[in-house]
Amino acid sequence: MTTEDDIAACAGLVQRGDPDRFRATMAARPEARDILFPLYAFNLEVARAPWLTQETMIAEMRLQWWRDALEEIAAGKAVRRHEVVSPLAEFLDAEAVRNLDQLVAARRWDIYKDPFEDAAHFAQYIDATSGNLIWVAARALGEAEEGVVRDFAYGVGVANWLCAIPDLESRQRVPLVDGRPEAVALLAEAALQRLRTARRNRGALRGPAGQALLAGWQAEAVLQQAAARPERVADAALGQGALRQTLSLTFRALTGRW
């Protein structure tokens, strides 16, 4: 298979498994898609790994497979042939590999049913998953200030997490340190403020780096809803309608105002 075939395969994975990120990537510039589709396919496969089996050892082995693949990329060794790993090896450097390895390690939380230790542990998880993914993407595409990207990514990560809570609870997970409505509202408000702070500093991202942040196109609306009416989290009632989604993404893609 050629690199183009691999990227097409990654796009198919994202389209089927993460349609919101697929839409955001299709709204990005064509040259950015060669970076974003492999990264998002990697993220999807890693995120799914803990949920594909009830056997914790097998889940650990699935995550370790990805860590081993990243180690091969970092070492400059012959990289295993794989439709996601092979295109990643084309652009990941040592720092990017370290960030993605931390992302994989953080996903070990998903294997078990232990709650987060405290608010700091929860924030660390969001930063290691959403933060590292979006930072690697932005850094691969252009010049960016890491703090700005991570502020934005924290808002995106919390928004996505709040949307996932009903499903997580149905799987006997404890997704929040404090699940009281007032605590959920405060969490959403804090994440919203970090997202807005990042937007006020969008000049810190140059060139195509901002294309990586299009993936957060729905985050502000979700956080606003959760802050104003936290009961919508438990009711799985967060998010915009189809028309508003399309208009929001189109506006951000055309203006670059992620």
Res 55: pLDDT: 96
- In the chain the domains, ranked by start, together with CATH numbers, are 1-112 (no CATH), 115-258 (1.10.600.10)
Nearest alpha carbon to residue 188 among 176, 172, 205, 199? 176
Band of pLDDT at residue 1, cut at 50, 70 and 90:
low
Tokens at 35, concatenated: 């970076």
With 90 as the cut, is the pLDDT of residue 256 above it?
Answer: no
DSSP for 152-211, please give it.
Answer: HHHHHHHHHHHHHHHHHHHTT----S--SHHHHHHHHHHHHHHHHHHHHTGGGS-GGGGG
pLDDT in tens, 9-53: 999 999 999 999 999 999 999 999 999 999 999 999 999 999 999
Which of 142-146, 189-193, 243-247 shows the lowest mean pLDDT across its residues? Answer: 243-247
The pLDDT assigned to 210 comes to: 95
Separation of alpha carbons 226 and 231, rounded Å: 7
Contact 40, 25 (CB under 8 A): yes
Give the separation between CA 42 and CA 4, rounded to whole angstroms: 16
* Dihedral angle, C-alpha 234, 240, 241, 247, nearest 10 °: -170
Amino acid present at 68? D
**Crossing angle, helix 219-228 and helix 181-200, to 10 degrees?**
150
Among 161, 166, 168, which Cα is nearest to 222's?
A: 161
Highest mean predicted confidence (pLDDT) among 74-78, 131-135, 253-257:
131-135
Q: How far is CA 185 from the centre of its chain?
A: 22
